[in-house]
Structure 1
């Protein structure tokens, strides 16, 4: 075998390896990539709109009169401008569903998986806490208990779902899934603090509820950030695939 034929054979093998090493973006249908990207960007926009809407409630009357340290976010729903809260939460649920849909379309997570189911439960929980509003203070009514149940479901399901989705993607180059996992763990920490506050306020004379509003707001913001990171992960994963450069002529 001559030196020239050896170089030709090596160049052909290199081309074959390069093709094999292209990630799945290069082989996915273009329509799926475009659809996933659009769904993710709409979802990110929805999360940002929801965050802004709930943030506005902290600076306009009459909702600004609520103490953000001790009063829960859900109590905005009971005021005359509570419709802003309702629509903001519904938009967040729809935006989260869009981002999940983008991940399914992009085949980043199967629809029939625990990660998808837990994230979908987050969306359903958000709608549930709007449909069943709470009453001011300690609310022993059926609607109040249902509201609290949906709130718990929403708050704990997203961190679990995100970790299930992202765990197998936590490679050194997987910046977005690793960030989503870190934020989910942070949200889990806030949820644990919220649970401890609730138990202490119920069974001890400690007035832990005085900081429940602050913790709930921190938890909500963290979980909104989780959804934004998941959306950005889809956008990054849906960038136009690189085209292989022609193999250099090594025969001359």
Structure 2
């Protein structure tokens, strides 16, 4: 299916609007009652879903998923993404939807549940897949910013960018600056996830429950903020790639 550059730009822009609206709703949960009384340093973000205004959390998360999906489609149509990156970023979207679909454990209303276990799984999928997708998206362009970096174009098989009326040149979509920014976002996300991972692993020898070993709410919110920033950087890349595209038959880096 042929998608014009205006459609690609519209998808990226709509994605940004959805993500920005999502951030606004998440921020409101921290300042408006009854959710404002929640200890955000210790309680996870999904705890908001169990409160009377939990619909705000659900709406914000689904908006983030929808916005991310729009940005993913836009970026894919520019020819930037390879298969691994597409799969990882799609897993981020699925993870967000799963977080809403399956309610977390309600310790005040019956304790652990199968739904809560599935919720935790989708949370992990979302938190890990976004940085993985960002790094996979940026990696080819960091190794080979433009086709000129190849000793010979014949040394590698061509992987042609999807058509958007006029072919997209690799020199246009392979913007090293955008790729570096996205890679930095992915690396920063993994760095923010490290304390949570350490708490999980160290539980076996410290005896301290992983959610008590660190201010979990603080680290989770920091991780979420960095990941949302990375999504916006992906949107920025899609917009730049579409606006600077040039008629060419260049291919993606090998």
TM-score category by the smaller chain?
0.7 to 0.9
TM-score calculated relative to the size of structure 2: 0.77
User: Aligned partners of 2:125 and 2:246: how far apart in 1?
Assistant: 41
| Alignment match of 2:195 (pick from 184, 193, 201) | 193
In the alignment, which residue of structure 1 is the partner of 2:221? Answer: 217
Distance 1:93 1:182, change over 3 A: same
Structure 2 gap ranges (5+): 147-174, 248-254
- TM-fit CA distance, 1:202: 6.7
In the alignment, which residue of structure 2 is the partner of 1:3? Answer: none
User: Aligned partners of 1:202 and 1:135: how far apart in 2?
Assistant: 22
Q: Are residues 1:60 and 2:32 paired?
A: yes
Distance 1:241 1:166, change over 3 A: closer
Which stretches of structure 1, 4 residues or more, deviate above 6 A after TM superposition?
none
- TM-fit CA distance, 1:105: 1.5
In the alignment, which residue of structure 2 is the partner of 1:143? Answer: 115
TM-score calculated relative to the size of structure 1: 0.78
User: Aligned partners of 2:58 and 2:120: how far apart in 1?
Assistant: 16
Q: Is the 8 A contact 1:50 1:91 kept in 2?
A: yes
User: Aligned partners of 1:63 and 1:47: how far apart in 2?
Assistant: 21
| Alignment match of 2:232 (pick from 221, 228, 238) | 228
User: Aligned partners of 2:54 and 2:245: how far apart in 1?
Assistant: 45
User: Aligned partners of 2:118 and 2:244: how far apart in 1?
Assistant: 45
User: Aligned partners of 2:15 and 2:205: how far apart in 1?
Assistant: 41
| Alignment match of 1:161 (pick from 133, 142, 149) | 133
Structure 1 residue matching 2:31: 3-state secondary structure: coil
Q: Is the 8 A contact 2:86 2:133 kept in 1?
A: yes
Aligned residues: 212
Q: Are residues 1:76 and 2:78 paired?
A: no
Q: Are residues 1:238 and 2:208 paired?
A: no
Structure 1 residue matching 2:81: 3-state secondary structure: coil
Q: Is the 8 A contact 2:106 2:112 kept in 1?
A: no
In the alignment, which residue of structure 1 is the partner of 2:177? Answer: 175
